[in-house]
Amino acid sequence: MAGDDENYPGSVKHQVSKLFEKSLEAIAPAIPAPPESDVAAFVVPLVLACSSGKNGDYQCNNALLICSKLNGDNALRLALAQDMMQNFPDSEMIESCSVGGNGYVNVVLSNNWIAKTIMKMLVEGIETWAPRLEINRAVVDFPSPNIAKELHVGHLRTCIIGDAIARLLEFSNVEVLRRNHVGDWGTQFGMLLELIFEENPNWDVEGQLALHDLAALYKKANARFKEDSDFKERAQKSVVRLQGGEVKYVKAWETIREISRGAFNELFHRLGVQSEEMGESFYGKYIPEVLEALSDQVKDDDGTRVIFSENLLGKGGKPLCLIVVKSDGGYSYDTTDLAALWYRVNQEKADWIIYVTDVGQKGHFQMVFEAAERAGWLPSAAGNDSCCPKAIHVGFGLVQAEDGKRLRTRDSEVPRLVDLLDEAKNCSRVKILELNKEKKSSDQLSEEELDEIAEKLGCAAIKYADLKNNISSNYKFSFNKMTNSVGNTALFLVKQYTRARSIIKGSDKDIRKLKETGEMVLKDSSERDLGLHLIRFTEILAEALSGFKLHVICDYLYQLASKFHIFYTENKVCGSTEETSRLLLCEATIVVMKQCFDLLGIESPARI
């Protein structure tokens, strides 16, 4: 993470660390270093935001570290901390610096500086608070469903998480290539085409089949493939004819893709998710070249060409492997991923390549990355070569029912994505109608507004309920909980956001003018608390970026909404003597909340 050029101060935590670095450098010469210790490490500041805020806003823990390295006692620890405090440079950022009984050095930020920092952002834009990454281009591989099947609950997470990761990187000034690596190549198409031609020899489906029918055909073809060896053989030949470019096959395959694409796009649009289709078939033409480049790794395993893993073992202790050429001569999912990775590194010149799938594919990606490291496309994971490019698998957990079992419909099918979105919309509509009852008749929502708001809130509820969890954990899906208007839900956040907007609207003040001429003064403790939380935005995003911890943004957003709620319940805004300052604080909350919503892919309705 960069933060050192003159025009980019970096996060508040970074700026506080810079001050502590000065104080540590000043005391370093007097520290007796034991021979095996690296004194340079002593002066790398260990700064944390204080969780309670009782002793300060940030704390530095180096006295504890140095003392333990020197095997010192409590007195030494306190003496070191005192020294650090005395050598702490003057700064307009800091109100006070003190030593806690345990040897922490605490600093309190100046209220004026907090207010000034917020005002600067209001004038110059939230982009000035964006973290900066030292990479130029990233590929995010999502949602990558398989053609001819319907999107189901499993695709929800790759859509939501992949989109949020892409948004976070884009906001951090990275060029993102969103790649929808659809499964559009392989045995399954042989089966499908074979069945379609069998049932209708002059098949031309354009406009005749919806994706739902395709999915039914797919199931039927799959069953036939398993039971009927004659069909299986014909299906395998079909793939060869398709991959060999036979017109009838290619045309039918194109039509299937077109039907799937139309249905997928409808749902992606509803979810507000964009990703460019570059499916498995796109990489077909690169496979021979890629296999050539990997030839020294490819081994024969009973008629199949494979690349063995050096790290992953299967049953009986035999190394796991990627199948690169199947016994029938066809290529596999693994082969395509090797070619796609090669293309992303060498042709697209991506610095980071991020794959978003369920955790079940962890081993697959580990083996693909291993092979790519041995081929020299990726830096070796073992070495400390931090240079790009870097390939990362972000594996997500299962979506479970409330009883902890797999989510199923009443007919024990995997729920379709479209049904989940519809149900979330219905539940949101019920909640909004409840809120609507409390309003004056002139403020009631029209049927059209209600529909639009319910759609947005339904999506927001589903996305937020997903993103607030640790990505790799399973989470329990509950329409009722996720659409609640209180607690850590999208509706609670949206309520605070629209509240802030209506306070500004109700004031009849021109907020743009206030930004330029008004002053912010943080007096009341709830004002300060909110202000301090606002300026922590950059360091929260930096934390979220390391390991793609999207729940960190959600936690921040929930705390922001809660602090805003306390602020306006405790303080009168319109008509008070502090009106200007408080309106500016409302505006800053709106800007930061809106940016968090944008990062999470949540669209808030203008009112509810």
Whichever of 84 and 153 has its CB closer to ligand ARG, that residue is: 153
143 upstream amide cis, omega within 30 of 0: yes
186 binds ligand ARG (CB under 6 A): no
145 binds ligand ARG (CB under 6 A): yes
Question: Of the candidates 194, 193, 192, 179, which has an alpha carbon nearest to the alpha carbon of residue 144?
Answer: 179
Q: Which stretch in 48-56, 141-149, 461-469, 576-584 sits in contact with ligand ARG by CB under 6 A? A: 141-149
Degrees (nearest 5) of the Cα angle 387, 393, 396? Answer: 150
Whichever of 353 and 454 has its CB closer to ligand ARG, that residue is: 353
Whichever of 49 and 378 has its CB closer to ligand ARG, that residue is: 378
Name every residue whose Cβ is closer than 8 Å to that of residue 513 and which is 6 or more positions away in sequence. none
Q: 411, exposed or middle or buried, with CB in 10 Å at 0-12, 13-18, 19+? A: exposed
Q: In angstroms, what is the minimal distance from the CB of 454 to ligand ARG?
A: 30
Q: In angstroms, what is the minimal distance from the CB of 12 to ligand ARG?
A: 38
543 binds ligand ARG (CB under 6 A): no
Please state, in angstroms and rounded to a whole number, the distance separating the CA atoms of residues 214 and 212.
5
150 binds ligand ARG (CB under 6 A): no
The token pair at 466 is 């997903």
Half-sphere exposure of 519 (CA within 13 A, CB side): 8
At residue 107, φ and ψ (nearest 5 deg) are -125, 145
141 binds ligand ARG (CB under 6 A): yes
Q: In angstroms, what is the minimal distance from the CB of 142 to ligand ARG?
A: 8
At residue 125, φ and ψ (nearest 5 deg) are 105, 150
Whichever of 151 and 583 has its CB closer to ligand ARG, that residue is: 151
Whichever of 356 and 573 has its CB closer to ligand ARG, that residue is: 356
Question: Of the candidates 283, 259, 271, which has an alpha carbon nearest to the alpha carbon of residue 149?
Answer: 259
Whichever of 141 and 351 has its CB closer to ligand ARG, that residue is: 141
146 binds ligand ARG (CB under 6 A): yes
Residues touching ligand ARG, count (CB under 6 A):
10
Please state, in angstroms and rounded to a whole number, the distance separating the CA atoms of residues 472 and 452.
32
C-alpha radius of gyration, the chain, whole number: 29
The amino acid occupying position 600 is L
The token pair at 516 is 């330029």
Task: Say if residues 352 and 390 touch (Cβ distance below 8 Å).
Answer: yes
144 binds ligand ARG (CB under 6 A): yes
340 binds ligand ARG (CB under 6 A): yes
Q: Which of residues 202-241 bind ligand ARG (CB under 6 A)?
A: none
3-state secondary structure of 417: helix
181 binds ligand ARG (CB under 6 A): yes
Task: Please pick, from the candidates 183, 190, 458, 601, the single residue that binds ligand ARG as defined by CB under 6 A.
Answer: 183
Whichever of 146 and 571 has its CB closer to ligand ARG, that residue is: 146
The token pair at 369 is 């990355």
Task: Please pick, from the candidates 184, 334, 337, 455, the single residue that binds ligand ARG as defined by CB under 6 A.
Answer: 337
113 binds ligand ARG (CB under 6 A): no
357 binds ligand ARG (CB under 6 A): yes
Task: Please pick, from the candidates 355, 377, 497, 564, the single residue that binds ligand ARG as defined by CB under 6 A.
Answer: 355
Query: What residues line the site for ligand ARG (CB under 6 A)?
Result: 141, 144-146, 181, 183, 337, 340, 355, 357
